[in-house]
Amino acid sequence: MPIESFERLLVHSAPAFACHACGDPQEKEAFIAPVSHVAHPPATAAALQRIPRVPGADAARAFFASHDGGAIYTAKGLRSDPGGDDEGIEIFPLHEWGARTKEVLDFWNASEYEDDEMPYGRDDFIAIAHSRGASTYIHWVVRGRHAGSVYWWPTTMPPEKHDGPLAADFGKFIETICTQPVHFLNDLLFCYTRFSDGKTKTQWIPKRYIPDRRSVGIPAEG
């Protein structure tokens, strides 16, 4: 179950990414970016009623019944832009779904993107998560022929009608985040997540996830 992969991630007490410098053609690992994982307490029974009845919803109910969202691969103070948000992946608690979805709708309504040119329309999804390095949210489709699937698109690159999803369902979305974080961040989400060493302007890109950075000589508090 995806929730089990998420739980295994939470027990990593000193996680990190081994990173390479942006633009390095050899992608040599040259910086260790410490990260953290934080999960919220279980959702209430009333909040769980917000979960739509779509294919794959059982995995979502199991997840939120254990943790009402959380933030994983979060890096405190590693962004190069002063005052910027932390990097990482945020899974929104159920009570935030409405407001987060409205933010997407406000943008969509002000844009030129037509519903019938895309895999789903503006009334067919819920915003459920955020890769904090990107400016747009991750969408769980709840209506139409793609109901149950998970999509993401950059502001200027909406999916075309026949484009495939980020994940086939909620469970596969969580499983990919937990077991293939570098693939998820770099390949699926176009490498928006980049860390700073706090000393230079170099943008450091995740190359390898390390469950315990002490195994590579970095103190847990480092």
Q: pLDDT digit string (tens) for 106-158? A: 999 999 999 999 999 999 999 999 998 888 999 999 999 999 999 999 988 99
pTM attached to this predicted model: 0.93
Query: With b meaning 16 or more CB within 10 Å and e meaning fewer, what string describes 80-112?
Result: eeeeeebbbbbbbbbeebeebbeebeeebeeee
Q: Please answer whether residues 191 and 6 qualify as being in contact, where contact means their C-beta atoms are separated by less than 8 angstroms.
A: no
d(CA 142, CA 102): 15
pLDDT classification of 47: cutoffs 50, 70, 90: very high
The answer, yes or no, to whether residue 80 has pLDDT greater than 70, is no
Torsion of CA 45, 47, 52, 56, to 10 degrees: -60
What mean pLDDT is predicted for residues 66-77?
88
User: When comparing pLDDT for 199 and 39, which is higher?
Assistant: 39
CA-based torsion, 66, 101, 141, 160: positive or negative: negative
